[in-house]
Amino acid sequence: MDRFHIYNVNIINEGKIFNGEIFISNGLIEKINHNSSSSTPTSYQKIDGQGNYLIPGIIDSHVHFREPGYIDKATIASESLAALYGGVTSFIDMPNTLPPTTNKKTLEHKLIIARDKSFINYGFFLTAVENNILDLQQINPTQIAGIKIFWGDTTGGLNLIDTEIINEVFKLPFLIAVHSEDNATIQYNESLYLGSFKNDVYIHPIIRGLDACIIAAKDILGLASKYQTRLHYLHVSHINELNFILQWRDQIKHLSIETCPHYLYFDLSHYDVFGNLIKVNPSIKSTPEQRIQLLNSLNIIDTIASDHAPHLKHEKQKNYDLAPSGLPSIQHNLGLMWNLVNQGYLSLPDLIEKMTHNPAKIFKIKNRGYIREGYYADLVLVDDKVKETISTEKLKYKCGWSPYENFTLPISIKKVWVNGNLILDDGKLNDIKSAQALIFENY
């Protein structure tokens, strides 16, 4: 395993930015110094950071890498490579694969795939379904990030509706991550609109409107308050939904909130341009003014995750009623959010808190998410002097498209270390497999 002396870098970590240097040895951060004054030991590779930013690797706690079952759309290998090029060093994958991740056997299958194929560190959710409560109760808590509940139906058809089982799941000692939409509301809206407007994506934010989110939220937050569940609220899509959830923060001890870049960049006006390419669940439903309000509330949102959910472009080009929901984004989320820093919506330390520190803290990931001595050396060197325009030929996604094509990002990713190994070096991929399974301290 290589040793590195990284110097002349501006380190962003735990609320501060400071010029310094880092020594890496045996996969770990060995030493952190303010300023860059040390000589390089003979056994260390010397890396001049040239005044660029050094950050802890991004932890994307909400991805759909599609494997097993949907490998025509994506694989753990292809999407983890895209993530690497975006400065992501760890991902947590959702359970709506085929078969779904519902028990020890299906979890271990995904762990083996990731061990053999992933370019970055990996973790997984299990999902709660009608008949697996005993499986969930018996799972090793260090092996999973938490339990995902699909309150509303979405890709995979795993929505949980049995009230008794839902109550049992909320009693479990795991973190519960929730996709919050009310199925009855969605089905009623479909009965009103889908027959006449099945070719029209403009009904998506009506069918999956704010009412579906708020109705579900009342039940979800009530249960979390009753059982004091560790609740992680996924992909909050609207300022009114956020404000409703915030009313419960005093009643639920462990309540965290996630949003995603597509809710910060797109609003109702963008359906004219992108159509089904921005069809996602929950829907993009804000007016331009409401989107700005959500942007102005980033300081009270805990995590920024991608909800990376690739589909093939020809699928997305079908009629509205046949086009699947979801979009790919993990390769560019750091740049997209850095752009919002430049626009004044949050600071660089706040950005790192929401994309690295808080995911590590909320999901209790052992020894990752911070630049600390003794922690794994998952690090990213970011150049904010070189912009990058997103182009089709540079995409690493297996699906080969992005709604952000032709966007210009204010940064480029220079180097990425995963567990102390320099995996990405000025755009060149080094043939080193160093990814590890994340360990979750859920005891």
Only one residue has tokens 């407007």, namely 197
Q: What is the mean pLDDT of residues 37-44?
A: 91
Residue 282: cis peptide before it, omega within 30 degrees of 0: yes
Q: What is the mean pLDDT of residues 392-409?
A: 98
At 155, the pLDDT band (50, 70, 90 cuts) reads: low
Q: Which CATH class is domain 4-54+373-429?
A: mainly beta
CA–CA dist 61, 233 (Å, integer)? 12
Helix H segments across 343-401?
348-352, 358-362
- SS3 at position 293: helix
Q: What is the mean pLDDT of residues 109-116?
A: 98
Helix H segments across 228-362?
239-246, 261-265, 271-274, 288-295, 313-316, 333-342, 348-352, 358-362
Domain 57-362 has CATH 3.30.750.24: no
At 214, the pLDDT band (50, 70, 90 cuts) reads: very high
Look at residue 172 in the predicted model and tell me its pLDDT: 93
- pLDDT tens for 240-297 read 999 999 999 999 999 999 999 999 999 999 999 999 999 999 999 999 999 999 999 9
- Return the domain boundaries, the chain: 4-54+373-429, 57-362
Look at residue 195 in the predicted model and tell me its pLDDT: 86
pTM over 0.85: yes
**Percent of the chain as helix, strand, coil, to the nearest 5:** 30, 25, 45
Q: What is the mean pLDDT of residues 369-389?
A: 98
